[in-house]
Structure 1
Amino acid sequence: MTIAPAAPSLVDASDFRAAMRELAAGVTIVTAGREGDRRGLTATAVCSVSADPPTLLVCVNRDAEGHAAILASGAFCVNVAAAEHRGLAERFAGRGGARGAERFEVGDWRSLSTGAPALADAVAVFDCRVIKAIDWGTHTVFLGAVAATTISPERAALLYRAGAFAAG
């Protein structure tokens, strides 16, 4: 199958962002790096690519401080936020002024297989090794081979829609 190059978008970027805010999504904290040099960001652009082999996709703005940490370490951890992690999600979204490794001063952080920070009480954790990085527009699409997981399915997840967090 041949795919034709994409035509220029007919939608203004601000209109696109406004429409995307209406798409309810699970909230994740994407982390990378090791003790002393950890970075992370709040993200909703995360999805499954394949169950065999287990693969996730995350989209990270190249201006986000976590972006360079993912490239440098070759790994990332997707931490699915629980409803009670709203403050943590806001912290990793840059609200409140915490930056860099300082963001990790809140929460119980451990590591699984790759060494990337894993939130001990997350609804689910996907510890991934980067297998491909694709630059697209303002973001990099990272494909990650899932090396380890944890789950706590009894916990309510944190959702994001219309610029606000809610329990789901």
Structure 2
Amino acid sequence: MSAAFGTAGTELPVMVDPAELRTVARRLPTGVTVVTAGRGAAVHGMTVNSFTTVSLAPALVSFSVRAGARVLGLVGDGGGFVVSLLSAEQAGLARRFADPDRLTGAAGFADVDLLDEATAGGVALAGAVGYFVCETERFVRAGDHVVVLGSVLRCATLRDTPPLLFEGGGFHALGAAVPG
């Protein structure tokens, strides 16, 4: 963290304009996922683009969401979650699960194709590139967000198709690889 010094020689944090931070950060392409938690009437899902693998041994992943997000209670109460890595054809699902006015519970999944993946932690979305079934390890408060760390219990690749990316405020498909 950068610092400036006040008139009395005390260190003061340099404040970054949140709008500028968002403008710069949105230029970084990220994968798009839907994180789900709960089952049956209590299931909930939300679009997350902060998902990342943390460690291969042990297998750990993380994502962050705004403190107070509905999914956090279910991730904690149910002890787990499922992350579906969306395919380029699933931008509609990404928008749906990012909508703050979406239906909650089972009604929010009424016409969504789900995998028959038996887990108490959530549901996997059919048509995704792949998914991760995770057990919640811990929550870490980070500013106005909470980082969720999870152990990967199972994961699978479902399709060999380009993933959905988010960059510059819009959705994109992964293009051709850049030569080495």
Q: TM-score, normalised by structure 2?
A: 0.83
Rounded Cα–Cα distance in structure 1 between residues aligned with 2:125 and 2:112: 7
Could you tell me how far 1:9 is from its partner in structure 2? 4.6
Among 50, 53, 56, the alignment partner of 1:48 is 53
1:60 maps to 2:65: yes
1:147 maps to 2:153: yes
Task: Report the aligned-residue RMSD.
Answer: 1.7
Identity %: 33
1:30 maps to 2:35: yes
Letter of the structure 1 residue corresponding to residue 25 of structure 2: M
| Contact 1:31–1:41 (Cα < 8 Å) also in 2 | yes
Greater mean alpha carbon deviation, residues 62-71 or residues 125-134: 62-71
Among 89, 92, 95, the alignment partner of 2:94 is 89
In the other structure, the counterpart of 2:82 is: 77
| Contact 1:114–1:127 (Cα < 8 Å) also in 2 | no
Rounded Cα–Cα distance in structure 2 between residues aligned with 1:54 and 1:86: 28
In the other structure, the counterpart of 1:10 is: 15
In the other structure, the counterpart of 2:125 is: 119
Could you tell me how far 1:77 is from its partner in structure 2? 0.9
Among 148, 151, 156, the alignment partner of 2:162 is 156
Larger-Rg structure = 2
Rounded Cα–Cα distance in structure 2 between residues aligned with 1:137 and 1:26: 22
Gaps of 5+ in 1: 1-6
Q: How many residues align?
A: 161
Could you tell me how far 1:103 is from its partner in structure 2? 2.4
Among 83, 100, 109, the alignment partner of 2:114 is 109
Letter of the structure 2 residue corresponding to residue 144 of structure 1: G
Could you tell me how far 1:82 is from its partner in structure 2? 0.6
